[in-house]
């Protein structure tokens, strides 16, 4: 068995680059991290989708979050590598994808999700798809190929 020494806490301190927008994400106090869909949905200002399974992966958890003071839900499907996470949040100014800092948005390739234009980031580590339908913005993220992420997005 291989063992390693402890890692100093300073190795995990991250300073954002100047001009970066920092958004606080937290689980509301007094709530359990993993809630049933019905309990979570009643606390959101939008209709939570969170199907029981997504592209063959069972729903594992629904977690209510606060993103910059706005309620959202994180839904986990599957486990570990190959799992998919879906972030559902109100479609407002806080949910617009702007990764460039200082008002410069990062232009990502577009993808059509059942007639709605979304953005897709495909990397060797996984895929991110973000789109807005009605009053909800969905972010689908997983260590999966683009085809699987697109199928998951279309199932929402």
Question: What are the structural domains, with CATH classification, of the chain?
Answer: 23-154 (3.30.200.100)
Angstrom distance (rounded) from CA 131 to CA 149: 12
Q: What is the pLDDT along the chain (156 residues), one digit of tens a residue?
A: 667 778 788 877 878 788 877 766 655 554 444 445 555 656 788 989 999 999 999 999 998 888 878 889 999 999 888 899 999 999 874 555 444 444 556 678 899 999 999 999 999 999 999 999 989 999 999 999 999 999 999 999
Q: How far lies 110's CA from each of 55, 143, 147, in Å?
A: 21, 19, 14
Sign of the C-alpha dihedral computed for residues 89, 93, 95 and 96 taken in this order? positive
Pairing relation of β-strands 136-142 and 127-133? antiparallel
């Amino acid at each position: 068995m291989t063992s390693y020494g402890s890692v100093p806490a300073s190795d995990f301190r991250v300073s954002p680059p100047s001009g970066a927008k920092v958004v606080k994400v937290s689980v509301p106090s007094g709530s359990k991290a993993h809630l049933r869909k019905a309990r979570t949905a009643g606390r959101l200002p939008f209709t939570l989708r969170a199907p029981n399974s997504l592209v063959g992966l069972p729903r594992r958890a629904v977690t209510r979050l606060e993103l910059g003071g706005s309620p959202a839900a994180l839904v986990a499907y599957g486990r570990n590598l190959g799992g998919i996470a879906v972030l559902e949040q109100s479609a407002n100014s806080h949910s617009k994808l702007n990764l460039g800092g200082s008002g410069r948005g990062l232009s990502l390739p577009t993808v059509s999700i059942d007639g709605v234009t979304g953005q897709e980031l495909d990397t060797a580590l996984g895929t991110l798809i973000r789109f807005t339908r009605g009053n909800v913005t969905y972010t689908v993220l997983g260590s999966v190929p683009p085809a699987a992420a697109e199928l998951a997005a279309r199932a929402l």
